[in-house]
Amino acid sequence: MPHRVVVLALDRVIPLDLGIPARVFNEARAPDGTRLYSVTTCSLGGRPVRTHEDYRILVDHDESALEGADTVVLATQEPGATLLSTGAIPPDVAAALARIGPHTRIVSLCTSAFLLAAAGLLDGGRATTHWALCEALARTFPRVEVDPDVLFVDNGRVLTSAGGAAGIDLCLHLVRRDHGAAVASAAARRCVVAPWREGGQAQFIEHPVPQETDRSTSPTRQWALDRLAEPLTLEDLARHAHMSVRTFTRKFRAEVGSSPLKWLAQRRLAHARLLLESTDLPVARIATVCGFGDPVALRKHFHAHVGLPPLAYRRAHSAPEPAVAR
């Protein structure tokens, strides 16, 4: 039985964001090509939805579809003046959200975090939204810990994302959480998007595309990826880029959105996850290959960022017939 994803489209929905869940989840496939998710889109009363642009969208389902969902996604809807001033949502929207089961996973894309906050689903927890409205979210809903500096926040049952492409990152994160990095990476390739952006990466990157006259850190990033097993230092990276440590760190953060060593740790962890899923290499060997040095350090990183020890992660995410790495 595929995991049932239901997307709720409300008036003034952003069309691009509305299509993200189906685009990503429908590309998550089992080894035999079977789809791992089914995606349904619904609206209040099954009525046509007025988008943020100059057209409407017809959907085939009403809000009763929310009752049978395993995951509900609230497509991006910009908060109106009433929601911003009073923190209240219309009764029909509140009634629709009340149909969601107590164990159903709930995801908001971008500014739909305001709807979750108004429904009390974010109280006492950490959340994010588009960086331009993070201050408004925190002001309107003081019981929510708003983090403006991340792409998405995973609180277990409830997840929130920043704007635009961060919705893709969050959906891929869910595929990775449900089925492992190999399935998520394959889905990303089919969508022709980057397979791995951690939720903790900065929303706003100062210079996403370096000036042509600037030296990019991209060659050094590839150089580091080819040497994950080595004990690379910040000085090693800067030396390879022919820059001072200060200049390299500044340019790296401007291009990537995180510090060089944080990025390197994320890449090592991603490689370790992939090896645990797709090979039968011992944990000690994986720790060495990925540059953690020893199993203790690897376990520490897994507990901090994945919430499971490596062997438990392997049991939960390994493929039916793992291929042994050479």
Say if residue 187's pLDDT is above 60: yes
How far is it, in rounded angstroms, from Cα 242 to Cα 223? 13
Concatenating the DSSP letter of every residue in 59-76 gives -SB-GGGGGG-SEEEE--
Residue type, 110: C
- Could you report the per-residue pLDDT of 232-243, keeping only the tens digit for each? 999 999 999 999
Contact 292, 272 (CB under 8 A): yes
pLDDT of residue 323: 40
Instruction: Summarize the confidence of residues 13-36 as an average pLDDT.
Output: 94
Helix axes 260-278, 310-317, angle to 10 degrees: 50
Residue 170: both structure tokens together: 């969050």
Q: Which pLDDT does position 144 carry in this prediction? A: 96
Arithmetic mean of pLDDT, 202-211: 49
User: In which band, very low, low, confident or very high, does the pLDDT at 47 lie, cut at 50, 70 and 90?
Assistant: very high
What are the structure tokens assigned to 284, written together?
A: 């000690």
Per the CB < 8 A criterion, the answer to whether 294 and 287 are in contact is yes
pTM of the predicted model over 0.75: no
Tell me, what DSSP letter sits at residue 325? P
Q: Is the pLDDT at 143 greater than 80, yes or no? A: yes
CA 106 – CA 104 distance, rounded (Å): 6
Report the DSSP beta bridge partners of residue 159. Answer: 107, 154
> According to the model, what pLDDT value does residue 197 have?
65
Judge whether residue 324 has pLDDT over 60.
Answer: no
Amino acid at 150: V
* Confidence at residue 326, expressed as pLDDT on a 0 to 100 scale: 38
Pair of tokens at residue 326: 């050479």
Dist CA 245 CA 236 (whole Å): 9
pLDDT for the residue numbered 201: 58
**pLDDT at 212 > cutoff 90:** no
pLDDT in tens, 53-101: 999 999 999 999 999 999 999 999 889 899 999 999 999 999 999 999 9
Say which amino acid occupies 207.
H
Q: How far apart (Å, rounded) are the C-alpha atoms in residues 121 and 134?
A: 17
Q: Which of 95-109, 134-148, 171-185, 304-318 has the lowest mean pLDDT?
A: 304-318
SS3 content of the chain, % helix, strand, coil (to 5): 45, 15, 40
What angle separates helix 310-317 from helix 295-305, to the nearest 10 degrees?
60
Helix (H) or strand (E) holding 273: helix 260-278
Query: What beta strand segments (E) does the chain contain?
Result: 3-8, 37-42, 49-50, 56-57, 71-74, 105-108, 126-127, 145-146, 152-154, 158-161
Instruction: Please give the pLDDT value at position 207.
Output: 43
pLDDT tens digits for 243-259? 999 999 999 988 887 89
Average the pLDDT over 289-300 and give the result.
92
Return d(Cα 115, Cα 90) in angstroms, integer.
10
Q: 179 with 3: CB under 8 angstroms?
A: no
pLDDT for 145? 95
Q: How confident is the model at residue 133 (pLDDT cuts 50, 70, 90)?
A: very high
Q: What is the mean pLDDT of the chain?
A: 88
- Residue 264 is predicted with a pLDDT of 93
